[in-house]
């Protein structure tokens, strides 16, 4: 048996040993009727206390993975020795039984993996997955969705989703409207991503235009992409009369905003910025959040 024990793991040694033996049985590395090492032999090999091995063997025997008879060694349970179906004691046990049953019926592990993934992808949604390349924008999108919709929200980039398609399992994917087409290439055809439109900044632009005195206008965000876009939008209104400043959180200096007359802050920054005149900007258009909520109810 190829058993590796980590004494630095938070998982008890007994549990590590038992689950590795279960996995080897389920994947066919240990065969029905095969004799396991004695308690003392395995304890010496793994350099752990023999009581730990004994407890692991007892656990496996209770769960009917192995058979122990007085005066004989522990052996892997043969199929014909089953007197009742195995009762899973946890998710790992349930998965191990599935692997074992598939192998016994001649299915490859690769086929099992593909079919399980397909079935999981077809299951109802249980969380929202924000797919966005810019890490700062991902944080903003997650923050604004959580504030309105009482569902678990995760996030990843398109590269992460491409490398690990399993991230889409159980997820209702959402993405900025300009990225939906690319994101949909990574999702099942019958479960496309929900597009998110960004809110207009008309009120913010008008606020800058109405300032009569030359002013310092600061934009604060957790996203570099947000800062670049906001600066371009406000630049026309600011002209040469006002000074535009960009600040990426965390601020380089607690007093960095002292000279600003007005501060535009994203949904995350607005909670962290301390200034006499802070104007919040929500990234997601209210209509998109309403549509997302209705899509979740209909799913």
pLDDT at 194: 94
Helix, strand, or coil (residue 195): strand
- Name 297's bridge partners: none
Fold for 13-107, please state it. Answer: Arc Repressor Mutant, subunit A (1.10.10)
Say if CB 13 and CB 7 are below 8 A apart.
yes
Of residues 101 and 53, more confidently modeled: 53
Contacts of 291 (CB under 8 A, 6+ apart): 194
Q: What's residue 105's pLDDT?
A: 73
- 8 Å CB contact between 204 and 264: yes
Q: What's the whole-model pTM score?
A: 0.63
Q: Please name every residue paired with 219 in a beta bridge, in sequence order, or none if there are none.
A: 246, 264
Highest mean pLDDT (candidates 19-23, 28-32, 144-148) = 144-148
SS3 264: strand
Q: What is the Rg, in whole angstroms, of the alpha carbon atoms belonging to the chain?
A: 29
Q: Which of 77-86, 89-98, 116-125 is predicted least confidently?
A: 77-86
Please report which confidence band the pLDDT of residue 84 belongs to, taking 50, 70 and 90 as the band edges. very low
Cis before 250? omega within 30: yes
> Is 70 exceeded by the pLDDT of residue 118?
yes
Would the pLDDT of 71 be above 70?
Answer: no
Given a contact cutoff of 8 angstroms between Cβ atoms, the answer to whether 268 and 143 are in contact is yes
What is d(CA 109, CA 97) in angstroms, rounded to the nearest whole number? 13
H/E stretch holding 286: helix 286-298
Among 237, 248, 238, smallest CA distance to 273 is for 248
Task: Determine the 3-state secondary structure of 22 from DSSP.
Answer: helix
If one looks up domain 121-199+290-298 in CATH, what number appears? 3.40.50
Higher pLDDT, 87 or 56: 56
Which band of pLDDT confidence, cut at 50, 70 and 90, is reported for residue 156? Answer: very high
Collapsing DSSP states into helix, strand and coil, what is residue 267? Answer: coil
Residue pair 267/146 in contact by the 8 Å Cβ criterion: no
Of the candidate ranges 9-13, 33-37, 125-129, 175-179, the one whose mean pLDDT is the lowest = 9-13
């Amino acid at each position: 048996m190829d058993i590796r024990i980590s004494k630095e793991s938070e998982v008890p040694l007994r549990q590590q040993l038992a689950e590795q033996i279960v996995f080897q049985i389920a994947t066919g590395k240990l065969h029905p009727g095969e004799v396991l090492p004695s308690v003392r032999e395995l304890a010496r090999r793994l350099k752990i206390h023999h009581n730990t091995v004994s407890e692991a063997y007892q656990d496996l025997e209770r769960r009917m993975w192995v058979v122990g008879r007085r005066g004989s060694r522990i052996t892997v349970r043969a199929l014909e020795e089953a007197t009742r179906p195995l009762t899973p004691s946890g998710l790992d046990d349930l998965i191990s039984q599935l692997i074992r049953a598939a192998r016994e019926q001649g299915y490859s592990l690769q086929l099992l993996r593909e079919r399980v993934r397909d079935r999981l992808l077809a299951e109802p949604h249980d969380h929202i997955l924000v797919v966005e390349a810019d890490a700062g924008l991902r944080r903003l999108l997650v923050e604004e969705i959580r504030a309105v919709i009482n569902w678990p929200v995760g996030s990843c980039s398109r590269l992460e989703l491409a490398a690990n398609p399993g991230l889409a399992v159980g997820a209702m994917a959402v993405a900025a409207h300009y990225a939906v087409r690319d994101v949909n290439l990574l999702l099942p055809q019958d479960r496309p991503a929900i597009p998110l439109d960004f809110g207009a900044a008309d009120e913010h632009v008008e606020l800058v235009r109405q300032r009569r005195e030359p002013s310092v206008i600061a934009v604060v965000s957790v996203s570099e992409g947000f800062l670049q876009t906001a600066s371009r939008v406000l630049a026309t209104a600011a002209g040469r009369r006002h000074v535009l400043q960009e600040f990426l959180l965390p601020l380089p200096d607690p007093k960095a905003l002292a000279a600003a007359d007005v501060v535009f802050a994203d949904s995350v920054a607005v909670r962290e910025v301390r200034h006499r005149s802070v104007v919040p900007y929500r990234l997601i258009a209210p209509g998109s959040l309403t549509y997302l909520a209705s899509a979740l109810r209909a799913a």
